[in-house]
Amino acid sequence: VAALNESKDHIAETTVYRNIEMLAKEGFIKVISLLEGHNRYELDRGDHHHHLVCTNCDKIVPVEMEEHLTETEHKLEKQHNFKITSHSLEFFGICSQCG
């Protein structure tokens, strides 16, 4: 998937982008929304996780941390009378290779 971001050919990029949008709609891949409107994509293996994103080299590391988030979701649902059905959460910073 990383190779898709390295394409220099604009036409190929557009085609790839359309294919990715289609795959995302079909549920085969997940969109990871990053800062400043940049999106990354990964295969949807059916597991829920979050990401550590290196802002220097764009490396993305999947991490799990649901315990605290379930509590937070319950709190927010009560506070705002809002039914939460999903969430996404990314952490931005510098990876060990860049730091």
Nearer to Zn ion, 19 or 56 (CB): 56
Please state the closest distance from residue 54 (CB atom) to Zn ion, in A: 3
As measured in angstroms, the least distance from the Cβ of 80 to Zn ion is 18
Compute the Cα dihedral for 16, 17, 20, 21 and give only its sign: negative
For residues 31 and 54, which CB has a smaller minimum distance to Zn ion in the complex? 54
Q: Smallest distance from the beta carbon of 89 to Zn ion, in angstroms? A: 6
**List of residues contacting Zn ion (CB under 5 A):** 54, 56-57, 59, 95, 98
How far apart are the C-alpha atoms of 74 and 76, rounded to whole Å? 6
Q: Which helix (H) or strand (E) holds 67?
A: helix 66-80
Cβ distance to Zn ion smaller for residue 36 or 47? 47
Torsional sign, CA 17, 19, 22, 28: negative
